[in-house]
């Protein structure tokens, strides 16, 4: 696997965990509410999936061998993106705090 491929995997790992790390929108914009709702986190996850996908398409096209993908590819990569989000999801919602 090339360096660009590993970069995309690492970027997907980081991007999938951003919505669950803190209470800011995309880890940058402060929200007026004290705690982000789960719907905002899901929307962030979907947006970041598309951002990472566009970066992947750019790097693949730049390498000169861009391949067309079917719906199966997108279903599998979205499921993988959700699996990547599991550590911070667990920390945010399943770990009991005192």
In whole angstroms, give the CA distance from residue 30 to residue 8: 27
Runs of H (alpha helix) within the chain: 3-21, 38-63, 71-84, 86-89
pLDDT band at 1 (very low <50, low <70, confident <90, very high): low
CA distances from 48 to 12, 13, 26, 64, 97 (A): 8, 11, 9, 24, 28
For the chain, how far is it from start to end, CA to CA, in angstroms? 44
Determine whether 88 is exposed, middle or buried from the number of CB atoms within 10 Å of its CB (0-12, 13-18, 19+): middle
Structural tokens at position 10: 């690492």
- The confidence score (pLDDT) of residue 96 equals 78
Q: What is the pTM of this model?
A: 0.88
- How large is the average pLDDT for residues 86-91? 93
Structural tokens at position 68: 């067309």
Per-residue pLDDT for 98 more than 80?
Answer: no
Q: What residue spans define the domains of the chain? A: 3-94
């Amino acid at each position: 696997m090339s360096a660009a491929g590993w970069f995309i995997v690492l970027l997907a790992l980081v991007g999938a965990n951003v919505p669950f790390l803190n209470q800011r929108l995309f880890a940058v914009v402060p929200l007026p509410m004290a705690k982000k709702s789960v719907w905002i986190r899901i929307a962030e996850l979907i947006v970041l999936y598309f951002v990472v996908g566009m970066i992947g398409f750019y790097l693949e096209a730049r390498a000169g061998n861009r391949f067309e993908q079917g719906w199966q590819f997108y279903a599998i990569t979205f499921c993988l993106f959700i699996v990547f989000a599991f550590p911070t999801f667990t920390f945010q919602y399943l770990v009991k705090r005192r």
